[in-house]
Amino acid sequence: MMRKKIYAALLASALAAGALAGCGDGAADKIGGGTSGDSQNAGGTEASDTQSDEETQAGEDEPAAGTESAAGTQAGEETLTEDTQAGEPAEYPKITSDEKVVDYGSVVVVGNAAYELYTYLDEPAENYAQTVNKVVENLDGKARVYDIVIPLGSGITFPDNLQGQIQSGNQKEAVKNIQAKLSEKVKAVEIYDSLMEHRDEYIYFRTDHHWTALGAWYAYEDFCEAKGIAPEPLEGYETVEFDNFLGSFYFNDTDECEELGGTPDVITAYLPKMDAIMHIEDANGVKYDSKVIYDESNAAASLKYSCFIAGDNPYTEIVNNELTDGSSCLVVKESFGNCFIPFLVDHYQTIHVVDYRYWTGSVSEMAAEKGVQDVIFINNLSMIRNKNLVGKLYRLA
């Protein structure tokens, strides 16, 4: 599929703009990779994707079916690591940096950009796949089930010449391993290569663990290809920007690193082309209406990511007021899905959204009750290695 190269803001330029001394103490020659349950706080939301208080209580979640325990790394647990990306295909843009790598544990900083390190864990990956497979089995003949696994910024935009200084998993292989466990009835949407083809663009935030809406749009292109529909061209969207965004890496993971704080991110949001309204039920059971892209111009620096679908809520229903064809889908997501969902608005009359971290119910039963044609799982790699979150998701199948 032909892709339009969108030079919104090149990551290489962002790194060059932050050509400052690294913050904190100097990094060791090799920096250790993350482990299951690494911190991944959601910038723009009050709870993190993988480490909110309610999600990480010892023994809180049951193991997924077919396992004795959903605990962290087991003896003999498979991990996928790589020291270099020297063998990457030549068509991928190259990213290099003269900055040093500064270690903050599960997060490293290079110049004015931070990255979460990654370790693949096979047991929660297996349990995640079992969840999706259970839903596709329950809905066989009733709805199509799609699965989108999102790499972290460390697997896409980390400088090539510094790969040997960190120990972080091969995320391309991790995605392949996870999706290889899925039933052949699941439509696995491949997005890794698309992101790598645009890795020198502003597709991940520097101060926050999320991808940008531009990164999500490239994934949306791949989803449309898998679904057999035409994506809306990026240049046709009206956009709004929210500047001075400082996310989870800055506030939670790097002791408010000066280099990150000195060059805040800018959030670009793409407005759906059709008129739509959201009906939201928040974590306190309060129901209210909102816009798909909410004006967060005056929000605190850490909360601006909530411009996408009003942040993380247990249940959201988005109604397209211009479609009457009965088309509908159910999206099962954590916060990475927030900036992806607005692109779906122009294709469905109704979108049901559940954030599995806060919602209680059955995905299969809701999909059948609402009569949706599509169920879309969209989750990032750090979530899929977290045994508590995977266990919680499994109980909602």
pLDDT tens across 280-295, in order?
999 999 999 999 999 9
Is the pLDDT assigned to residue 39 strictly greater than 50?
no
Across the range 259-265, mean pLDDT stands at 98
- The string of pLDDT tens digits covering residues 320-370 is 999 999 999 999 999 999 999 999 999 999 999 999 999 999 999 999 999
Higher pLDDT among residues 302 and 83, named by residue:
302
Q: Give the type of residue at 324.
A: T
**pLDDT of the residue at 31:** 53
Half-sphere exposure of 79 (CA within 13 A, CB side): 18
Give the pLDDT band (50/70/90) at residue 227: very high
Q: In sequence order, what are the residues at sequence separation of 6 or more whose Cβ sits closer than 8 angstroms to the Cβ of residue 193?
A: none
pLDDT at 307 over 50: yes
What would the mean pLDDT of 75-91 be, rounded to a whole number?
Answer: 46
Query: pLDDT band at 90, cuts 50/70/90?
Result: low
Each residue of 140-175: pLDDT tens digit? Answer: 999 999 999 999 999 999 999 999 999 999 999 999
- Both tokens assigned to 291: 């816009």
Q: Give φ, ψ of 301 to 5 degrees.
A: -55, -35
What does residue 133 show for φ and ψ, rounded to 5 degrees?
-65, -35
* Band (91; pLDDT cuts 50, 70, 90): confident
Higher pLDDT, 184 or 27: 184
Give the pLDDT band (50/70/90) at residue 25. Answer: very low
Least confidently predicted of 87-101, 116-130, 187-201, 363-377? 87-101
